[in-house]
């Protein structure tokens, strides 16, 4: 059990899955954003992840460790995506690199730390708190689950619960008024609509889960 190690190709395969997922859900994510934003969230993510996917073969060979891979993917999102989500997801992946310098593989416990580093970066950049109706409302409930992971727990089960809690966090954005981002301007009119970034956040983590299920 404790032998599970997530190597660079785990992350590369996950990024491929995320790229596929955002293509398939482009209209869905943009529709959520059009209800209370400017309708481009799905488009923004496809712009970013198409470029990531294009560069993955090169990144797979040219990056020295997991840290460099995560940093480069984050930088692509940061530089290619115009909307708020580009810098936010860009920082998320870039900061996942923090504790992975020199590592060719990480344990699931270390993966949990990577996620925490990523979420902290999103909070640092966007300054959103829980219940501000942003992706943070999905990211934080997921963090609580991963922070509780202990050696001996089942990583797949843990990530399943993490994604479930993230989904619930996204559901909880529906009745909220937004305190950050574009939908802030709508005031009470944002009530009754899900935040788009909270949806993409759990969907992204779900791809980490789907790829984990394929690891041996
Ligand atoms: P834009 O708002 O520039 O059009 P996107 O549509 O791609 O960018 O992304 C919008 C999503 O970004 C929102 O649904 C929200 O989840 C997230 N977001 C916006 N501002 C913040 C923030 N300050 N902190 C965290 N997430 C944010
Ligand atoms: Mg938008």
- Output the residue whose Cα is nearest ligand 1's atom 5: 41
User: What is this structure's pTM?
Assistant: 0.98
pLDDT at residue 2, rounded to an integer: 52
What residue ranges do the domains of the chain occupy? 5-213
Report the 3 state secondary structure along the chain: CCCCCEEHHHHHHHHHHHHHHHHHCHHHHHHHHHHHCCCCHHHHHHHHHHHHHHHHHHHHHHCCCHHHHHHHHHHHHHHHCCCCHHHHHHHHHHHCCCCCCCCCEECHHHHHHHHHHHHHHHHHHHCCCCCCCCCHHHHHHHHHHHHCCCCCCCHHHHHHHHHHHHHHHHHCCCCCCCCCCHHHHHHHHHCCCCCHHHHHHHHHHHHHHHHHHHCC
Q: Which of 46, 124, 135 for mutating ligand 1's site (highest number of atoms within 8 Å of CB)?
A: 135
Q: How confident is the model at residue 1 (pLDDT cuts 50, 70, 90)?
A: very low
Ligand 1 centroid–CA 154 distance in Å is 33
Neighbours of ion ligand 2 (CB under 5 A): 33, 37-38, 40-41, 83
Q: Which residues line ligand 1 (CB under 6 A)?
A: 33, 37-38, 40-41, 44, 83-85, 88, 122, 126-128, 134-136, 180-182, 195-198
* 5-213: CATH superfamily: DhaL domain (1.25.40.340)
Q: In whole numbers, what is the pLDDT of the chain averaged over residues? A: 96
């Amino acid at each position: 059990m404790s032998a599970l190690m997530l190597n660079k190709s785990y992350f590369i395969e996950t990024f491929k899955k995320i790229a596929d997922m955002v293509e398939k859900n482009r209209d869905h994510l943009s529709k959520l954003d059009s209800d209370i934003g400017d309708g481009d969230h799905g488009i923004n993510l496809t712009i970013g992840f198409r470029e990531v996917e294009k560069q993955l073969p090169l990144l797979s060979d040219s990056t020295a460790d997991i840290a460099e891979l995560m940093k480069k993917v984050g930088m692509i999102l940061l530089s290619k995506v115009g909307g708020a989500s580009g810098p936010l997801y860009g920082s998320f992946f870039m900061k996942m690199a923090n504790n992975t310098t020199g590592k060719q593989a990480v344990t699931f416990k270390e993966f949990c730390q990577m996620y925490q580093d990523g979420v902290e970066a999103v909070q640092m950049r966007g300054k959103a708190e829980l219940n501000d109706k942003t992706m943070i409302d999905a990211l934080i409930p997921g963090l609580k689950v991963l922070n509780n992971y202990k050696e001996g727990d089942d990583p797949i089960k843990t990530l399943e619960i993490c994604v479930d809690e993230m989904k619930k966090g996204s559901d909880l954005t529906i009745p909220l008024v937004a305190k950050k981002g574009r939908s802030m301007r709508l005031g009470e009119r944002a009530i009754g609509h899900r935040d788009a970034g909270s949806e993409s956040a759990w969907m992204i983590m779900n791809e980490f889960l789907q790829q984990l299920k394929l690891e041996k």
